Amino acid sequence: MELHQLTIKEAQERLRTKKFSSLELVKSCLGRIKKLDSKINAFITVCEKEALEGAKKADKIISHQSPVISHQSLLGIPIAVKDIFCTKGIKTTAGSKVLEDYIPVYDSTVVKRLKDVGAIILGKTNMDAWAHGSSGENSDFGATRNPWDFEYVPGGSSSGSAAALAADMALLATGTDTGGSIRLPASFCSLVGLKPTYGRVSRYGIIAMASSLDSIGHFTKNITDSAIILNITAGQDSYDATTPRVPVPDYTKNLKKGIKGLKIGIPKEYFIKGLNKEMEKKVKETIKRLEKLGARLVNISLPHTEYALAVYYIIQPSEVSSNLARYDGIRFGFSRDRFADEARRRIMLGTYALSAGYYEAYYLKAMQVRSLIKKDFDEAFKKVDVLMAPVSPTLPFKLGEKVNDPLQMYLSDIFTVTANLAGIPGLSIPIGFIPSASSGQALPVGIQILGPQFSEEILFQVGYAYEQETKWYKQKLNL
């Protein structure tokens, strides 16, 4: 096994016991980037010099410390950061030419927390500009390719983060999920992707897309790593008033609790016509497998599901039009002439929905239906502990397949936007591979586990129980 293929937990233990150095680990990841990124285009910026310096510093600290205790849990671990997180002194573009030369003078809270525990930033990852997109193709810096098959999209908007981790270019990649931008790419790239509860992780210093929906999460190779990272990023932040004082448990503590007697709801509205048949079969097999592990299956209805995408495509562009109004090219970045098509579509759509005479018909109506969608989940979680559903209706699609039809692209998010509207957490986990109809190439499939607000611990328990049975993350790309 090569160093870049390790999980965070494996690397932590081996760095601490000095099996190898941080410099060797960082060099191994940088080597992957050099070898593959001209084809995959996962990074917008690579900070090679700074990363190597950081590794040497980490090694110095490690050489002085006991092999038993580490005070900094990610000391010497190389990570990739989505280019929407402000990083002090490192260019942050949000995937847009408007911010092509923007160098923040402060760190986002998540980046600060990761740096404080010793993580080393390898670079900033590619993404759909302003996080608008489901494929990565809306990046102003070129599309990212799916490492499992370069003809296919990695999913978006956190396209570069997912591709970088799937290709073992880093041990962790951060992401944001406003309507599925972590869960969809995680499922397209065979990764664990966590969208936490709204407000569980601070949004401070992350370029805002739709402020009532934006959730800050991450991609990891397995469940244990996902819990390790949430332990670091979760919690109240005085710079983001939407982070409540809800206690942060040790998410790694009860991973092995098992799922005996756990009630899993199967929402019938997520198994509709148009869902890829083979994916449906895989998703159902996965749920059956959990039943064998002791879970109880319950059929559930979330009656307002069919309205979720329409609600999302009012609320989200409305908030986008407001958030993107600040980019005037005066204080930083370039002028508004540089906004590309997708941002312009959403700005105009939002401006229209919020304009005089239309506000009640569109925005207010959407906010009311949002309440009904949330209530569906509240009712469901009185009967079950978690829900399990497909992440998207289709397998990864080919580059270019949906770019000229925005509405078709929007439909990729039909199963993910609901969690953002209800503010609940969602965990996307790999459940295997299906050969694509056109090329026969095996493409990854995922499933999402949804729970009540602040139930991340239970989602990890379910994911962990399944992962022990299958260990899809051990299936490595041959690149």
According to DSSP, the β-strands at 386-390 and 263-267 are parallel
Nearer to another protein, 146 or 323 (CB): 323
Instruction: Check if 257 is active-site.
Output: no
The residue among 87, 94, 183, 231 whose CA lies nearest residue 427 is 183
The span of 30-38, 51-59, 136-144, 419-427 binding another protein (CB under 8 A) equals 419-427
- 32 residue type, one letter: R
- 171 residue type, one letter: L
Q: Does 453 bind another protein (CB under 8 A)?
A: yes
Query: How many CB atoms within 10 Å of residue 456?
Result: 25
Nearer to another protein, 348 or 437 (CB): 348
Instruction: Check if 134 is active-site.
Output: no
28 vs 46: CA distance, rounded Å: 14
Which member of 52, 272, 297, 372 binds another protein (CB under 8 A)? 372
For residue 400, the SS3 value is coil
Q: What is the DSSP letter of 211?
A: T
Which member of 248, 336, 433, 475 binds another protein (CB under 8 A)? 336
Q: And the tokens for 381?
A: 């979680």
Q: DSSP labels for 263-297?
A: EEEEEGGGS-TTS-HHHHHHHHHHHHHHHHTT-EE
Instruction: Check if 73 is active-site.
Output: no
Strand order in the sheet with 120-125: 43-46, 120-125, 78-82, 173-177, 215-220, 192-195, 426-435, 442-450, 386-390, 263-267, 296-300
Q: Is the dihedral of CA 370, 461, 235, 205 positive or negative?
A: negative
- 72 residue type, one letter: Q
Q: Does 201 bind another protein (CB under 8 A)?
A: no
Q: Does 432 bind another protein (CB under 8 A)?
A: no
Size of the site for another protein (CB under 8 A): 57
The span of 49-57, 62-70, 138-146, 365-373 binding another protein (CB under 8 A) equals 365-373
Phi, psi dihedral angles at 44 (to 5 degrees)? -90, -40
Closest contact distance (angstroms) between CB of 455 and another protein is 13
Q: And the tokens for 237?
A: 């932040």
CA distance readout (Å), 334 to 91, 101, 353, 399, 462: 14, 8, 26, 29, 46
**Are the C-beta atoms of 414 and 306 separated by less than 8 Å?**
no
Q: And the tokens for 178?
A: 């406003």
The residue among 214, 252, 210 whose CA lies nearest residue 232 is 252
Q: Does 366 bind another protein (CB under 8 A)?
A: yes
Which member of 65, 231, 242, 276 binds another protein (CB under 8 A)? 242
Closest contact distance (angstroms) between CB of 376 and another protein is 12
Q: Does 374 bind another protein (CB under 8 A)?
A: yes
Task: Choose, from 21, 27, 70, 82, the residue flagged as catalytic.
Answer: 82
Which member of 38, 63, 66, 238 binds another protein (CB under 8 A)? 238
Task: Choose, from 22, 28, 139, 157, the residue flagged as catalytic.
Answer: 157
For residue 159, the SS3 value is helix
Q: Does 422 bind another protein (CB under 8 A)?
A: yes
The span of 107-115, 250-258, 302-310, 458-466 binding another protein (CB under 8 A) equals 302-310
Q: Does 448 bind another protein (CB under 8 A)?
A: no
Q: Does 263 bind another protein (CB under 8 A)?
A: no
Q: What is the DSSP letter of 228?
A: H
Q: Does 437 bind another protein (CB under 8 A)?
A: no
Which member of 329, 468, 469, 477 binds another protein (CB under 8 A)? 329
Which member of 1, 68, 69, 105 binds another protein (CB under 8 A)? 105
Q: Does 407 bind another protein (CB under 8 A)?
A: yes
Please compute Rg for the chain using Cα positions: 21
Nearer to another protein, 33 or 422 (CB): 422
388 vs 363: CA distance, rounded Å: 30
Which member of 199, 217, 452, 463 binds another protein (CB under 8 A)? 199
Q: Does 313 bind another protein (CB under 8 A)?
A: yes
Nearer to another protein, 192 or 208 (CB): 208
Q: Does 299 bind another protein (CB under 8 A)?
A: no
Secondary structure of 19-78 in HEC code, one letter for each residue: CCCHHHHHHHHHHHHHHHHHHHCCEEEECHHHHHHHHHHHHHHHHHCCCCCCCCCCCCCE
Which member of 142, 364, 378, 437 binds another protein (CB under 8 A)? 364
Residue in the block written with tokens 């090329």? 439
Query: How many CB atoms within 10 Å of residue 163?
Result: 34
Q: Does 301 bind another protein (CB under 8 A)?
A: no
Which member of 141, 188, 219, 339 binds another protein (CB under 8 A)? 339
Closest contact distance (angstroms) between CB of 274 and another protein is 15
Task: Choose, from 181, 215, 318, 321, the residue flagged as catalytic.
Answer: 181
Q: Does 331 bind another protein (CB under 8 A)?
A: yes
Which spans of this chain sit near another protein (rule: CB under 8 A)? Answer: 102-103, 105-106, 197-199, 212, 238, 241-242, 244, 304, 306-307, 309-311, 313-314, 321, 325, 328-333, 336-337, 339, 344-345, 347-349, 351-352, 355, 362, 364-372, 374, 406-407, 410, 421-423, 453
Q: Which residues are catalytic?
A: 82, 157, 181
